Amino acid sequence: MKRILCFGDSNTHGTAPMRDENDVVRFDSDKRWPGVLRGALGAGFEIVEEGHPGRTTVHDDPVEGAHKNGRSHLRAILESHWPLDLVIISLGTNDLKTRHGVSAFDIASSIGTLVDLVRATPMRGRPMPKILVISPPPIIEAGWLADMFAGGQAKSEVLGAYVARMAAARQAAFLDLASIAKSSPIDGIHFDEATHHAIGQAVYKAVTPLLS
């Protein structure tokens, strides 16, 4: 059995586009992209879904809480789900919130910190897991989240290039969702069901050579 960890935010969790803060819906397990990946891979694979809404790369969120910091929890998650054959890191969108005040370059560097942390975590005699870094598609400053992400759209439009450069420097596999997925105009950051399906299929194609 090969085990894949999907480490991400609300778009890994499967949060549907939201019209306001109380409009919270999570897609069923077979509809969100890790579930689509599970279905495409078939028997012999276990998908560990670690999607946390609001998760950043390395930042304590001054509004939503320090528990949103991905770096603070990654090693514990890696140890909890050991052994792992592949770690998929799909983060960066929440770093675009105005409150964090970081550049696209800094977001890519922060994702690189997580790649380094995966490789620094002892695997207790097992091979180091392969790593796939997924760069999110551009966001839209729209809906009730527009003020929260003010200024983030421009950063998001160049983020993929910075993440690609970081992944290449660390010899990690890379997938850019910019040509595959569109953020919903309802809230500017989340994906509809059809987009989750497209992402799941794209991730399947990306991970297949990594698991052979």
Per residue, what are the HEC states of the chain?
CEEEEEEECHHHHCECCCCCCCCCCECCCCCCHHHHHHHHHCCCEEEEEEECCCCECCCCECCCEHHHEHHHHHHHHHHHCCCCCEEEEECCCHHHCHHHCCCHHHHHHHHHHHHHHHHHCCCCCCCCCEEEEEECCCCCCCHHHCCCCCCHHHHHHHHHHHHHHHHHHCCCEEEEHHHCCCCCCCCCCCCCHHHHHHHHHHHHHHHHHHCC
* Digit-coded pLDDT (tens) for 23-40: 999 999 999 999 999 999
Give CA–CA dist 152/98, Å, rounded: 7
Q: Who contacts 184 (Cβ-Cβ below 8 Å, separation ≥6)? A: 17, 140, 190, 191, 192, 195
Q: Which domain does 53 fall in, by range?
A: 2-210
pLDDT in tens, 43-88: 999 999 999 999 999 999 999 999 999 999 999 999 999 999 999 9
User: Does residue 6 register a pLDDT over 90?
Assistant: yes
Average pLDDT over residues 150-159: 98
Read off the pTM: 0.98
CATH number at residue 126: 3.40.50.1110
Q: What total of structural domains would you count in the chain?
A: 1
Q: Residue 114 is encoded by which pair of tokens?
A: 């997580």
Looking at residue 212, its pLDDT comes to 83
Neighbours of 11 (CB within 10 A): 27
